[in-house]
């Protein structure tokens, strides 16, 4: 039986084993998927041992995506542009391919699951950290009319815009001077991870705007709750979580699983968890 896992620190909270087990059942794939914990400085020895024991692939979560980038023998273009790897796949020649499936997971959720348009639209991305860098190339490959990066530290936003300028029309600035009237807004800032939202002017929300928050939970996020009264359609990042896993599964197994049933299963689990907490 082929072995796969997710590595992180912490790792208990990861839903990857549930997701990939569901994918395997759906696609009749014979595999085993587990969790790997590593101390912050022990990524290489833990991963060495894992693949030496015959493993075929590995998902990588915080804080090891940069370690995985350096560990891989070869990289996809999207991993190279992201400067980070979240998926390692053993190739037939014995080399380890490093990929970053976060961006494709985001795009597939927005475009295919939600039915929102990216091509030809004015796109605002909030944040200039690793989450943004990992998604810029797949977003720009969809050919938006314009992509603007806004970040609290303006220099980081400008650096990202410069790095990705060759892939499309990219501009940058601070959170206080964002132009008005975007069609699609993606919150990739660290604010969401702490239960907060980026403080931006309501004028950035254009007519028929769609607002996507990369974080997810049992209830709408603070950023979604801010955007809904402004007339925006909103979604959280649960579909991105499932989408990036589906992309990794396809890379490993050569088959693409259906995302909708797994997303519905996870959504129901979050609701039940919220209900249990309320009781």
List the binding residues for shikimate.
Answer: 14-16, 61, 86, 102, 216, 244
- Distance between CA atoms of residues 113 and 105, nearest Å: 10
Q: How many CB atoms lie within 10 A of CB 224?
A: 23
| Distances 201 to 9, 154, 157, 164 between C-alpha atoms, Å | 36, 17, 18, 26
- Count CB-CB contacts under 10 A for residue 192: 25
Q: Which of 210, 204, 205, 146 is nearest to 176 (CA)?
A: 204
Residue 70 structure tokens: 């350096």
Give the residue ranges of the annotated binding site.
Answer: 14-16, 61, 77, 86, 102, 127-131, 151-156, 214, 216, 237, 244
> CA 163 to CA 170: how far, in whole Å?
9
Spot the catalytic one: 65, 121, 122, 273. 65
How far is Cα 216 from Cα 243, in angstroms, rounded to an integer? 14
DSSP 197: -
Residue list for the binding site for NADP(+): 77, 127-131, 151-156, 214, 237
* Unique residue bearing structure tokens 């980081």: 156
Is residue 130 within 8 Å of residue 161, measured between CB atoms? no
- Annotation says 273 is catalytic: no
Q: How many CB atoms lie within 10 A of CB 16?
A: 22
DSSP string computed for 105-119: HHHHIIIIIS----T
Q: Which two tokens stand for residue 265?
A: 């299963």
What would the two tokens of residue 152 be? 């609290």
Which amino acids are annotated catalytic? 65
């Amino acid at each position: 039986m082929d072995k796969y896992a997710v590595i992180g620190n912490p790792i208990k909270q990861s839903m990857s084993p549930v997701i990939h087990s569901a994918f395997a059942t759906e696609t009749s794939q014979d595999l085993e998927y587990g969790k790997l914990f590593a101390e912050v400085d022990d990524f290489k020895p833990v991963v060495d041992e894992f693949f030496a024991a015959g493993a075929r692939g590995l998902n990588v979560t915080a804080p090891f995506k940069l370690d995985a980038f350096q560990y891989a023998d070869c990289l996809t273009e999207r991993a190279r542009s992201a400067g980070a790897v979240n998926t390692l796949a053993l190739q037939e020649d014995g080399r380890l391919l490093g990929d970053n499936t976060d961006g494709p997971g985001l795009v597939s959720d927005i475009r295919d699951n939600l039915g929102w348009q990216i091509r030809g639209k004015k796109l605002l991305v909030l944040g200039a950290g690793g989450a943004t860098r990992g998604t810029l190339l797949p977003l720009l490959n969809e050919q938006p009319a314009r992509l603007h990066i806004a970040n609290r530290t303006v220099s980081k936003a400008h650096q990202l815009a410069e790095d990705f300028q060759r892939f499309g029309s990219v501009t940058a600035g601070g959170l206080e001077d964002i132009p008005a009237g975007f069609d699609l807004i993606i919150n990739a800032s660290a604010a969401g991870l702490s239960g907060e939202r980026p403080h931006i002017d309501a004028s950035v929300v254009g007519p028929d705007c769609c607002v996507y928050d990369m974080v997810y939970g049992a209830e709408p996020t603070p950023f979604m709750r801010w955007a809904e009264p402004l007339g925006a359609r909103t979604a959280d990042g649960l579909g991105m979580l499932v989408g990036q896993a589906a992309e990794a599964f396809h890379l490993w197994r050569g088959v693409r699983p259906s995302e909708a049933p797994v997303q519905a299963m996870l959504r129901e689990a979050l609701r039940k968890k919220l209900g249990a907490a309320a009781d």
